[in-house]
Amino acid sequence: MRITDHPILGPAEAGREITIFYNGAPVPAVEGEPIAAALMNAGVRSFRRTAKRDEPRGIFCAIGRCTDCMMIVNGKPNVRTCITGAADGMRVETQYGYGGRKEQA
Amino acid sequence: MKKLRTEVAVVGGGPAGLSAAAEAARAGAKVLLIDENKRLGGQLVKQIHKFFGSEAHHAGVRGYQIARRLLRDVEDAGVTVASNALAYGLFPEKELGVVWDGKHCQVSAERIVLAAGAKENYLAFPGSTLPGVMGAGAAQTMANINRVLPGRRIVMLGSGNVGLIVSYQLMQAGADVVAVVEGADHIGGYGVHAAKLRRAGVPFYLSHTVKRASGDGALARVEIVQVGKNWQSIPGTELTLEADTLCLAAGLNPMTELAWMAGCAFLYLPAFGGHVPAHDAKMETTVPGVYVAGDITGVEEASTAMEEGRMAGLSAAESLGYGAGAALDAERAAIQRRLDDLRAGERGAIRRESKARQTAAAADQRQGGGAT
Ligand SMILES: Cc1cc2nc3c(=O)[nH]c(=O)nc-3n(C[C@H](O)[C@H](O)[C@H](O)COP(=O)(O)OP(=O)(O)OC[C@H]3O[C@@H](n4cnc5c(N)ncnc54)[C@H](O)[C@@H]3O)c2cc1C
Ligand code: FES
């Protein structure tokens, strides 16, 4: 859920509204915001699955340190979505294991 | 590969690094300030509450506004700012490896100030890796910077100032805080912050800890349990809370990697969050020309970080021949006085004592003796 009005920070800055694609499905985003923010707003909580035990991982640090939020972005694996800006038409996919798609896991 | 030269390189653009850079540049040194974020200010940029402390430290001003003021000082002083620049290594001869805007470059400096801050402690329990379990700082970044609510029903583990402040800020952003859980039998942070939550009806579970987090693919439930004097769980006291977000606010530890790489002598000071580099009153470590300031020297506050930063900046510049004599001594004495004030009284006792051990360790080391 977006925090459009905030008692201290006031209204959110209006950015350009764009669309990114999460596992193929369109998700609204604001240009330049972290991919993770757009996904979290859309209710996505699991970003990748681990190699050994196939466990889900989601946002943990939100500042690029923990790597829990890595996904495949425009075909490139291991992108930290909490510090990578969203761009129109971006394709974002759940990452399995060390950088593969589901069928490769 | 790009190569850069500077007189003073400051790593970290929080209150400590910003203050160090501004002072060193004002004294006349050529300064490069390196921070991994696009926006400088460190912890300050996500703090939307009015800071405590004294007027000299911008008390009563909201954290992100303090960051803006410090950044203006840095720009006015003529510091070169490298944002989106991560210093990944510190090599012999004071060479920093930096990835700046995605490109690798090498920075050689005559003096280095390390002001990398601290990172959040992690806690492991069954379910602690489930999506929805996150650092309190992550929730704060999501809500205050990215303006997206990390969840609607929040359980906060830890009642230090970070736990209390982030709980309140998540409520301001529109979430419900269903519980603040604290292992000790008393609240860790300041009464004023706790009172705001109490007034809003947030329940505090003291002498409690998280036993397990569960949910199908993401967090749905947090099971808490009462603990006895030795932190052992008391069977039969379990309680299950429905929540989609569990924030961990279990303290911070100094981010010391670069100081280890530099070969600084360390000592273990629990009150400061773990292993910290020994340093003298001028903030110089046991490696000549390498200075430290702020939370990297031990987790304290923005006010102490700013003062330590000033001290480090002035001293680094002085060692290069900028500024000297009675005026500089007087300035340093004033900074030291303010630092002593910030660590005064009963609340400051443990930090005062820890700081004394830290400077003593540096002196020992220089004489070729003891502590590492
Ligand atoms: C919720 C919360 C509330 C607080 N409230 C108060 C308050 O009311 N009053 C008060 O006085 N204090 C408060 N504090 C504490 C205060 O924010 C910190 O003590 C202070 O920010 C520490 O300053 P610093 O400059 O040492 O580190 P930081 O502010 O952490 O800054 C360090 C910077 O260095 C960067 N960095 C680290 N390593 C590298 C590297 N290798 N390369 C490039 N960049 C790097 C980091 O990304 C960061 O930007 C609060 C803290 C929190 C979390
Ligand atoms: S959430 Fe930790 S790196 Fe993105």
pLDDT in tens, B254-305: 999 999 999 999 999 999 999 999 999 999 999 999 999 999 999 999 999 9
Residues at CB less than 6 angstroms from ligand 2: A 59-62, 64-69, 80, 82
Tell me the pLDDT band of A105, cut-offs 50, 70 and 90: low
Q: Smallest CA–CA separation between B17 and chain A, in Å?
A: 19
> Quick one: tokens of B298?
């031990």
Taking CA–CA distances from B42, the nearest residue in chain A reads: A63
Say if A70 falls within a structural domain: yes
Residue A29: domain span = 5-96
Say if A102 falls within a structural domain: no
The β-bridge partners of B34 are B11, B82
Give CA–CA dist B172/B156, Å, rounded.
15
Give residues 45 to 104 of A whose Cβ lies within 8 Å of B: 45-47, 55-65
Say if A74 falls within a structural domain: yes
Give CA–CA dist B220/B153, Å, rounded.
9
Q: Is B104 helix (H, G, I), strand (E, B) or coil?
A: strand
Contact call for B147 and A64, based on CB within 8 A: no
CATH code, A60: 3.10.20.440
Among residues B240, B305, B320, the alpha carbon closest in space to that of B63 is found at B305
Say if A56 falls within a structural domain: yes
Taking CA–CA distances from A39, the nearest residue in chain B reads: B148
Tell me the pLDDT band of A14, cut-offs 50, 70 and 90: confident
Say if A16 falls within a structural domain: yes
Tell me the percentage of chain A whose pLDDT exceeds 70: 98
For residue A63, the ligand 1 atom closest to its alpha carbon is: 47
Please report residues of A whose CB lies closer than 8 A to that of B173.
3, 6
Say if A104 falls within a structural domain: no
| Alpha carbon of B142 to ligand 2 centroid (Å) | 11
Give the mean pLDDT of A66-92.
97
- Ligand number, closest to the Cα atom of B258: 1
Contact call for B146 and A33, based on CB within 8 A: yes
Out of A6-15, A77-86, B73-82, B215-224, which region has the weakest mean confidence (pLDDT)? A6-15
Beta-carbon contacts of residue B217 (< 8 Å; ≥ 6 apart): A45, A46, A56, B131
Please give the full DSSP string across B264-299, using - where no structure is assigned: --EEEEGGGTEEEE---TT-B-SSTTEEE-GGGGSS
* Euclidean distance between the first and the last CA atom of chain A, given in angstroms as a whole number: 32
Q: What 8-state DSSP symbol labels residue A32?
A: T
Spans of chain B below 50 pLDDT: 370-372
Say if A103 falls within a structural domain: no
- Ligand number, closest to the Cα atom of A64: 2
- The pLDDT value recorded for residue B372 is 47
The answer, for B246 touching chain A at a CB cutoff of 8 Å, is no
For an interface test with A, give the residue of B142, B172, B196 to mutate (most A CBs within 10 A).
Answer: B142
Say if A82 falls within a structural domain: yes
Total domain count, chain A: 1
ipTM of the complex as predicted? 0.96
